[in-house]
Amino acid sequence: MSPPQTELLQRNLTSHIIDLLAEEPVLVLHGARTAGKSTLLTMLANRTGASVIDLDELDVRDSVADDPALFASGPSPVLIDEFQKVPELLDAIKAELNRNLRPGRFVLTGSTRYTALPSVAQSLTGRVHIVNLWPLSQGELAGTREDFVEHLLDDPLSLVAAAPSPTMRAQYERRILAGGFPLAVRRATERGRSRWFDDYVNLVIERDVLELRKVRQRDVLPRLLRLLAAQTAQVLNVAHAADRAGLEKPTAGDYVQLLESVFLVYRLPAWGRNLGNRITAHPKIHLVDSGLAAHLLGLSAQRLASKQPAALTTFGHIVETFAVGEILRQVECLAEPLDIGHFRTRDQVEVDLVLETYDGRVFAIEIKAGSRVAGDDLRGLRTLRDKIGASFVGGVVLHLGTHSYTLEDRINAVPLDRVWTPAQDNPVPATHPSI
């Protein structure tokens, strides 16, 4: 996989943000550090003719802190990078909006989750729209436009009309182990990438976590992060992580929230709480990046080549984290909001990702690390389809094989690389092998 070039970092989100500015007075673009927020803000500045106020620069930060009202009153849009460095800005922005609430006034980026900042909810309630920015997707790294979710929502069967995938398992492994952080992908070796991830975790904890909260047991945070990595793509078990880290459960829960606030992990909520008491309401935990997860768990190409059962099990969880992240990036660019979650019964029948439209149409995605789809792999999709009936529009099993095919009523198998490969690149219907 070639390293990303600056011109390839043009995100699908750029046009989406321009559209949002026509309606929203304030946009907050928040996400993991070094995921490309500053690059995106610069591109937006080039599109709009505005300048970027970069609060990572100490002299700029001091000037803004001395007179936040002056910087908040510039010509629209006012573009501010790492806005959380000067919280007083939010009061100045609120005062500006009290005078003029027209759309397109402010775009703020931050490496700390917006709702985790003190008093933020009160200061700009009803005036701000939040956009999540993720590490780069595979399509962004390749400079292609991804349309998997669009096709899924429009016509799930259209995903089956594709030529056999050219992607081999070793290529999937390289993509998944590298992840989507631009600076990590640029590293030529696994050892170099490993050093980068170590430095990244230390940077985020030392600069972002400790700026957000004074933590008495700072040294436990990297350990807790590794324990959460071991739970990636699984139902979050704070008690287990607390026990392994030597923490009280309330303290561990607080620290998990801190790691969420700086975009090292995120919770995928349970979907379908209205389907009866046999459905669990517990979230899944995911690392924000598959490369980071693999690093924290010591999963390398060499370990995968050994085919150790433990390594393959770990890889299966990381494949799910990778695929869910890729899909959520596309969801972020959609004009229509979706209800997103995972489905799981108390009998541990589950679906990895469920998307529900505003009008109640449900789409379900199961993710497998194998090259073939077995009948048991459909258990969760079948259960969900039977529970909700006609609302279940389409189910997809993403796998590491080469063919797309229909499995049974409203359930199809599709190679994982279709998530980032545009439809026009795969126009030929494939052979439909039986499972």
Q: What is the pLDDT of residues 376-391, one digit of tens each?
A: 899 999 999 999 999 9
Above pLDDT 90, what percent of the chain?
63
Q: What is the pLDDT of residue 148?
A: 95
User: Where do runs of H (alpha helix) occur along 73-166?
Assistant: 88-99, 120-123, 138-142, 148-154
Q: How does residue 119 score in pLDDT terms, banded at 50, 70 and 90?
A: low
User: Given a cut of 70, is residue 22 above it in pLDDT?
Assistant: yes
Strand order in the sheet with 52-54: 52-54, 78-81, 106-110, 26-31, 128-133
Q: Where are the alpha helices (DSSP H) in 143-216?
A: 148-154, 169-178, 182-185, 190-203, 210-212
Q: How confident is the model at residue 142 (pLDDT cuts 50, 70, 90)?
A: confident
The model's pLDDT over 253-305, given as tens digits with 9 standing for 90+, comes to 999 999 999 999 999 999 986 676 667 789 999 999 999 999 999 999 999 99
Evaluate if residue 11 carries a pLDDT over 60.
no
pLDDT digits (tens, 9 = 90+) for 44-55: 888 888 899 999
For residue range 206-252, list pLDDT tens digits in order.
Answer: 888 887 777 777 889 999 999 999 999 999 999 999 999 999 999 99
Task: Quote the pLDDT of residue 84.
Answer: 86
Report pLDDT for 103: 92
Check: CB of residue 352 under 8 Å from CB of residue 383. Answer: no
Q: Region of 127 please: left (phi>0), alpha (psi -120 to 50) or beta.
A: alpha
Q: What is the model's pLDDT at position 144?
A: 84
pLDDT digits (tens, 9 = 90+) for 391-415: 999 999 999 999 999 999 999 999 9
| Between 1 and 245, the higher pLDDT residue | 245
- Where are any strands of DSSP class E within 32-173? 52-54, 78-81, 106-110, 128-133
Nearest in space to 49 (alpha carbons), one of 13, 22, 12, 76: 76
Q: How far is CA 284 from the centre of its chain?
A: 13
**For 99-117, what is the mean pLDDT?**
87
Neighbours of 83 (CB within 10 A): 26
pLDDT reported for residue 277: 61
pTM: 0.90
Predicted local distance difference test score (pLDDT) of residue 208: 86
pLDDT exceeds 60 at position 428: no
When mean pLDDT is compared over 103-112, 271-280, 353-362, 367-376, the highest value belongs to 353-362
Q: What is the pLDDT of residue 118?
A: 64
Nearest to 184, CA basis, from 13, 34, 32, 11: 34
